[in-house]
A and B are shown apart, each in its own frame.
Chain A
């Protein structure tokens, strides 16, 4: 029973949950009326993508990618390439969050609200 669950999770289950998380983030970005909530949902979507990349680098029976004397075969270590790529992606996501918040504050200055409906209505009135 336990081995069946594990093999199902390894083949499909984890990917399914990641896909659900990704589309939940996308759903939040599409439907939430508040810009700050949209930004949070964007971060969630980003984390789903990062997690997907880390799934691809997994190796059963491998240790963390720091060399230990005596182990030099490539099957003993987890693939370090997705880790290096995703590490920079996480840090850059902080930059995008900050820039998004800055733009949001300008929106609040100009339109007096960060609700999507109010901003669109005021933009129409200005025309």
Chain B
């Protein structure tokens, strides 16, 4: 029965992370925070009883973070 409360707390955490990503001026920091975002999502999926989806999200979150990091190297790191 307590599961909904945990989900709500995790969702609030996700919203806070999103606001940080939008306001941040350092793109590299944004990408690392995006990695944290995807791991929180993974916890959320496990709370919802979807371990298959959580497994996929864990692997895919790491790979998309790597893509972002190597793309930032060629493009700019700081944004206005």
Q: Which residue in B1, B34, B50 is a CB contact (below 8 Å) of A54?
A: B50
How far in angstroms is the closest Cβ of chain B from A57?
A: 8
- In angstroms, Cα B31 to Cα A41, docked, is 11
- Interface positions, chain B 5-25, Cβ under 8 Å from A, are 5, 7-8, 11-12, 14-15, 18-19, 21-22
Question: Does A34 lie within 8 Å of B52, measured CB to CB?
Answer: no
Question: Does B67 lie within 8 Å of A90, measured CB to CB?
Answer: no
Question: Does B21 lie within 8 Å of A44, measured CB to CB?
Answer: yes
How many residues on the B side are at the interface (Cβ–Cβ under 8 A)? 43
How many residues on the A side are at the interface (Cβ–Cβ under 8 A)? 55
Q: Which B residues are CB-close (under 8 A) to A90? A: 53, 56-57, 60
Q: Which residue in B5, B41, B79 is a CB contact (below 8 Å) of A5?
A: B5
A18-B11 contact, Cβ under 8 Å, with A40-B30, A90-B60, A104-B71: yes
A21-B79 contact, Cβ under 8 Å, with A44-B18, A90-B53: no
Q: Which B residues are CB-close (under 8 A) to A108? A: 74-76
Q: Which residue in B4, B15, B18, B79 is a CB contact (below 8 Å) of A9?
A: B4
Q: Which A residues are CB-close (under 8 A) to B68? A: 36, 40, 97, 101
